[in-house]
Amino acid sequence: MTNEIIVKLPEENYPIVIGEGVRQRFSELFKKHGQGRAFWLSDKNIVAAWDENLGGLCSNSHTDIIVMPPGEEQKQIATIERVCQILVTMGAERGDTLVACGGGVVGDIGGFAASVYLRGIPCVQIPTTLLAMVDSSIGGKTGVDLPEGKNLIGSFHQPAFVLIDVEFLKTLNGRQFRSGFAEVVKTALIGDASLYRSIEQGADDRCFQRDAATLIETITACVKFKADIVAQDEKEAGLRRNLNFGHTIGHALEALGNYAALSHGEAVFWGMTVAVDLSVQHGSLNHEIGQTIHQLLERYLKVIPAIHFRPKEVMDLILNDKKTKAGKPHFVLLEDIGKPIVTDQISNVILSNALEHLKHRMKRIKESS
Ligand code: GLY
């Protein structure tokens, strides 16, 4: 089974092709949607797991692929400079395309480098992690971090096409896979009640077992949802903010753990529990529905790390966040499964209580697992 979703944008539409073994269709898709020659960017882990031709994707040898070291610490402006310098050495020209094959970091670096190299060349995204497949490779957000915060420099640069081959997920370890699954659960909670029901009924187990049909179905649901949001609000003027459900607290927890104790998805899982509590406190979400969501989230929280934190530290990070400094922090909350709302009406007292609650929840879940 192969699915194709079209992202419809005012300037240009582009396809996202999802299936098992679909990397074999790269040449055909590149002929149709690419431009010039393909220059490849990947990381050492992908090359080690999938060989020098990236699992049959390209006929290039090692030396023709720009191979970055893996890790979030690569998301800095110096990496962009290095990638662009190598592109010059390789002779990449205006009419050529940069193909980013890897997880979220490779996608962000590849997309950003393509957006600035020679004032912009096309890029193709071939995500290899679940997180990149369901979220970061779609919608054109690219960028790097600053010491002051994550993703503070970047651009919107939509890919020419996205190729999602679920076979790449076979080499992902359990922790990386679970981390990506946070974005799947997020999508279900903010936009797809039927995806939520299928997860509740065991699609999550089948995904964790890497069942290709369930993965294709689940990833397609997430991609459809995100493609629709991006089509309506490409530059995050409003609706796209909903995708930040669980991320306001999640980003703060991730930072408190020095981006090592908790992966992005793990922090988002904890962040979503707080967002559910805030939704109930705020009066927008019925208490019983909140409880059923907590039950689902606990399936994953049992096996993800907890961290020690003081609620004040989290509050300080949120209130001093460079992106929210000008105004009050916005929280994406729920009115129901599949129905998000955005509010800046969360008092510091309510937030502080919810964070105390998170500390207790972390302790209880860790003690019982
Ligand atoms: N990851 C959130 C977004 O693409 O807007």
Domains of the chain are: 2-171 (3.40.50.1970), 245-369 (1.20.1090.10)
For residue 256, the Cα-to-chain-centroid distance in whole angstroms is 20
The whole-number pLDDT of residue 368 equals: 87
Sign, CA torsion 229/232/235/239: negative
Per-state percent for the chain, helix, strand, coil, to nearest 5: 55, 15, 30
Distance between CA atoms of residues 121 and 97, nearest Å = 6
| Predicted pLDDT at 322 | 64
Is 240 catalytic? The answer is: yes
On the 0-12 / 13-18 / 19+ scale of CB atoms within 10 A, 292 is middle
pLDDT score of 55: 83
The pLDDT of residue 365:
94
Q: Which pLDDT value is given to residue 62?
A: 47
User: Is the CB of residue 257 less than 8 Å from the CB of residue 172?
Assistant: no
Print pLDDT tens along the chain (369 aa): 899 999 999 989 999 999 999 999 999 999 999 999 999 999 999 999 988 788 888 765 445 799 999 999 999 999 999 999 999 999 999 999 999 999 999 999 999 999 999 999 999 999 999 999 999 999 999 999 998 888 999 999 999 999 999 999 999 999 999 999 999 999 999 999 999 999 999 999 999 999 999 999 999 999 999 999 999 999 999 999 999 999 999 999 999 999 899 999 999 999 999 999 999 999 999 999 999 999 999 999 999 999 999 999 999 998 877 666 556 888 999 999 999 999 999 999 999 999 999 999 999 998 887
Residue 60 has a pLDDT of 56
Q: Which residue has the CA at smallest separation from atom 2 of ligand 1?
A: 243
- The answer to whether 308 is a known catalytic residue is no
Q: What is the pLDDT of residue 227?
A: 98
Residues within 6 Å of ligand 1 by CB: 135, 139, 141, 236, 240, 243
Q: What is the pLDDT of residue 63?
A: 53
pTM of the model: 0.95
Choose among 168, 175, 177, 174: nearest CA to 260: 175
Say how many Å lie between the CA of residue 243 and the centre of ligand 1: 6
Which entry of 141, 157, 224, 282 is annotated as an active-site residue? 141
Q: How far does the centroid of ligand 1 lie from the alpha carbon of residue 248, in Å?
A: 13
Q: What is the pLDDT of residue 149?
A: 84
247 catalytic? Reply is yes
